[in-house]
Amino acid sequence: MTVKNIQVEGGAGGVEAKYEDLAAMGDLTTDVAGDTLKTAAAGHKFLVEPDVLASSLLNPGGVVKFEAAMAVALDGPNGLTATSAAIGLRSEAFKASRIAYEVADDLAAKGLDAARWFGGLAVATNPPGAALVGGGGIAADVYLNYDGDWEKWLVNHPGMVDNLVGMTPGMLSALGIPMDLATSLDLLAASYPDSDAEVTDSRTSNPDEPKNLGDLLDGLARRNDSKQHENDQSPDPANLDVQIIRDANGKVTGYVVDIPGTKAWNAPFTTDGSNDTGTNIDAMAGNNTVLQKGIEEALSRAGAHGTGVPVMLVGHSQGGIVAAQATGDLVANGYNVTHVLTAGSPVGRIDVPDNVQVLSLENRNDIVPRLDASENPDSPNRTTVQFDNQQNTVTGNHRIEDNYAAVARELDQGGNPSVQRYKDGLGAFTGGTSSEMHTYRIDREGEKKK
């Protein structure tokens, strides 16, 4: 099925980048105003220049005209002093416009969060009415227009996930414990035990080096398939790849880390490997998860630590959450993380260092990217690509193959300036001539291996 209606937000061509342009223009205009004022101040000295005053004895009329012309040029309505003031006012207007736009955007986002919160509170305080009005209408729509198929209805109304997640804190607050979404995540995360990572070297191989976004997503799909990359197709206990990219001289130019999605859906107070529900909740709550710890150990074993060689994190679903969440710690701990590529991941509320470029791919019909009830930041280093690919199942809309890999292939054809800027920076990962793949298994320390 072909992806369609591709839309790009953020990045070098995004709104926030334009806000920064306004700020830069304001700073530049301030400098121009200062320079103009300095020129005016310097010009005033000619009004009392000794040689000019002395010449008044020989040509008093000429000096009077000169002094008058200089005064007008310096301090007249259109003189340098007035021009400097006008430029200074324009500078402040640029800066004020940027602040006003950013405040308006922030208030709009907070207003949406607040509306969902109060909606949840209303539902919790009047469940019969909510069930009768909202639930009854939804049920009727499902059975009249979707043949009773709730999954098909949900993937055709994915915005319901944003609303339900955003309403949850309000519902819980009705119990007498005021909380927001961040607090709710923290409490839920506390119910899942975390642990240190136990990293095991699995094998080494030499796959083809990636040349573009499509190749990067294909590599992630192979890792996510939980099958070996070789020909025997036996179940693969490993769950992380670190691909070392080399140039024609054998020099390492970059490291690409493939991080798959959730493999186990377990209940609170239990664990089920490093790709389980607990890792999802912990990462979305902003915690350093067992999977993130394993990624850092794997990168260290692959030789990336302290070298300054660029590192790229590529993640699907849970893998994208962990990739985005890990950037700050990895950078602080000596890894040169420059790029993150996420596919179907809710990363809107995760902070990423400004010098790390993030490209997030989101199928509008995929409910998973909506689990944080938040739009991704529209900042110069955060580019989001949304597209339509309706396959009428949760799994079909979320899978990498024929979905996220397909839109990556479309983006490889070029067109959008924000995406192009991101691709222009991928040379360390897509410009190599050979590669070496190190595959690792990350387990929770002390947990029995399957």
pLDDT digits (tens, 9 = 90+) for 86-108: 655 555 555 555 555 454 555 44
Is pLDDT of 20 > 60?
no
Q: Taking the CB of residue 104, how many other CB atoms lie within 10 A of it?
A: 10
Read off the DSSP letter of residue 45. G
Alpha helices in 267-393 (DSSP H): 277-284, 290-302, 318-332
Domain boundaries, the chain: 4-12+191-444
Q: What percentage of residues in the chain have a pLDDT greater than 90?
A: 40
Across 302-370, the runs of DSSP E, i.e. the strands, are: 310-316, 336-343, 357-363
Q: How confident is the model at residue 431 (pLDDT cuts 50, 70, 90)?
A: very high
pLDDT at site 252: 97
CA distance 14 to 135: 38
pTM: 0.76
- Structure confidence at residue 51 (pLDDT): 59
Q: What is the DSSP letter of 364?
A: T
Across the range 337-352, mean pLDDT stands at 96
Which residues, in sequence order, are CB contacts of 129 under 8 Å at separation 6+? none
For residues 382 and 351, the answer to whether their CB atoms sit within 8 Å is no
CA 60, 61, 66, 72: dihedral to nearest 10 degrees? 120
Residue 381: what are its φ and ψ, rounded to 5°?
-105, 5
- The sheet that has 240-246: what strands, in order across it? 4-10, 382-388, 357-363, 336-343, 310-316, 252-259, 240-246, 434-444, 197-205
pLDDT at 151: 81
User: For residue range 120-134, what is the model confidence (pLDDT) as tens digits?
Assistant: 545 455 555 444 444
Total Cβ atoms within 10 A of residue 218: 18
Q: Mean pLDDT for the chain? A: 79
Continuous segment of H or E residues that includes residue 20: helix 15-44
pLDDT in tens, 201-252: 888 889 999 999 999 999 999 888 865 544 555 556 778 999 999 999 999 9
Look up residue 250 and give its DSSP letter.
S
Is the pLDDT assigned to residue 73 strictly greater than 70?
no
pLDDT at 107: 44
Tell me the C-alpha distance between 352 and 325, whole Å: 7
| Candidate ranges 17-26, 180-189, 260-269; pick with highest mean pLDDT | 260-269
Q: In the CATH scheme, what is the code of domain 4-12+191-444?
A: 3.40.50
